[in-house]
Amino acid sequence: MSLPSASPERPADPIAHVVFYAPCIPGNSGAAIRLAALTGAMLHLVEPLGFDMDEAKLRRAGLDYHDLAHVAVQPDLDAALDAARTHAPSSRVLAFTGSGDVTLDDVDLALGDVLLFGPEPTGLPEEVLADPRVDARVRIPMRPGLRSLNLANAATIAVYELWRRHGYVGGV
């Protein structure tokens, strides 16, 4: 699938950069494509991907929003962070993990921040969490004894919380 570049429907300066590190489930990335289109976020899918970008489940989850979303497939985390910082040089990298030091409601969320999420079965690997560019390990509260939220749901919660805190800039 060929992904379009910025257009009047997709702001040149995304409200946030959502980074899916080595995503495995096409439906989650498809839902994130729809999230990017609806909010003005940019989605970075970091290889290796556990699916083909032409996969039917990816297209079905994204419905007809693919052409309205700002999405880039990046060869590695360095490329994704470099691309995000092209738009927002002072953006922070917030790594979402069940073992986060701070909860979502306690972290300051700025326009242009990088919201980093790991692959569905395992979450972010320790080498990514230990990367010096990671400014905070953030967790989304949930009931004890449960493993994790669905990847697309977690990204949606984080993006909408950031957007809400900034008055839904650009939204209606």
Phi and psi at 55, nearest 5°, equal -60, 140
Which superfamily does CATH assign the domain made up of 19-165 to? Answer: SPOUT methyltransferase, trefoil knot domain (3.40.1280.10)
Helices (H), 46-170: 56-62, 77-87, 126-129, 151-165
Per the annotation, binding residues for S-adenosyl-L-methionine are 118, 140, 148
DSSP 82-100: HHHHHH-TT--EEEE-TT-
pLDDT tens digits for range 8-53? 444 568 999 999 999 998 889 989 998 999 999 999 999 999 887 7
Tens digit of each residue's pLDDT, the chain (172 residues): 333 343 444 456 899 999 999 999 888 998 999 899 999 999 999 999 988 777 665 555 444 555 667 889 999 999 999 999 888 888 999 999 988 899 999 999 999 999 999 998 899 999 999 999 999 999 999 998 888 889 999 999 999 999 999 999 988 8
Domain ranges of the chain: 19-165
Per the annotation, binding residues are 118, 140, 148
Q: How far apart are CA 1 and CA 126, in angstroms?
A: 32
Instruction: For the chain, give the percent of residues with pLDDT over 90.
Output: 60
